[in-house]
Chain A
């Protein structure tokens, strides 16, 4: 089998069917770009989860004097030192779930709050008394917050048990939603791409039925008769995959140079993740197109 002969056949086939080839390339490019974006969003969520879950804490807030009036669970007044110490004892018993715990006094908490909200008008009104003291608990498995919650909520002197992870979950939920949307659109675009490939191969096989008829007649192997069509589909998919890779790199550039400046608290995944996804897209796109072409030929190119 001679490569030059085969390549010239592919070129002739693609040019003869130029409009269909363009349609295939564009739809393959869009579906692969969405597939890649979906994979990258997943990577982004995982990377953010790893980064933030390491830092999140569970806070056990104690009642302040002021809470006695407006929070029923604090009717007994501010938490006593004994109550605070009792919580510590219980926390220490909960190893290995509890990784570590530190106490934040009212004065420290007030200072943190003031540092983070320097312009807040309440700074001058509120004193350290108004901010609750708390145990800051780090968990080995941040998802087991419910155990801490059920162990301490409602105990005497405890105002509330809060999980910082809850705040992040909303963000991750949004990202997961985006990922699902990208995936659904990808599946739709992919079916469009596959149908276009099937149709292109069918038209191509029909317009070359004279050649293929003669090839069969003189005893060309099935592989030899079918290969130009399969190679054509795979080549169109390769062009699409290259286009999709370009789109992803462009998107990554936008995120790195624009979004990263606007949203500084999020660590965005870098170009290395994109470069990992690209070969996957190219291989998946070409295999998909080749298989679609092969199955079409089984039906429309009897050998």
Chain B
């Protein structure tokens, strides 16, 4: 990947991944935040005259079957999708840190029991598991978050556990232990900061997976309820008119690709920072 590591005038290496990733992700974040307060058109107002209008300067991404502006709906959907994904990753990351730290550091019976449960959860494809949880809890935004968080926790537990196993016998940890530092302090003050760079990469990867999984669930019709939309549900709605008005599907589709690519570049860039 040296090709991309162009040298600047000062001879310092420019982290191209970080820049592109930050720009791409930044655009999405701005879109999502602006979308909360303002969209060019109402996201729900229908117009019979403008059904299936092709992209134009008035309607950047065209209009849908109800004559709603797709660009506005994508803006709103990006926010909803991002919020759900961030919540999912936040919940599963916290759960992953707690469980991973305890199992990795202490080992023994707790480790065996927790890890077998984690293995069991991991045994199911995450979308399938989320489907099962949603069919038990019912539809709705909170349940989607909860279902995906449960499905995403195992991967975080594994990563954190691995790091804690690696570090639990490191010199500084052993010394801290001998000095009688309290266990929680060793876990979260001494060890945790040292696994941050590894963990951050898995968080960004997790974020991408969450965006895709949420889109998948919404595509299957069990995410948010109409007329609210996420990128996945827009894609799902667009499918009915795929051949007659392809821009409807392209808009949310390309947005998903853009977001995932941006976050992936960003995580790659952050990974390189460490070195």
Question: Do the two shown chains form a genuine complex with each other?
Answer: no
Give the interface of B toward A (CB within 8 A). Answer: none
Give the interface of A toward B (CB within 8 A). Answer: none
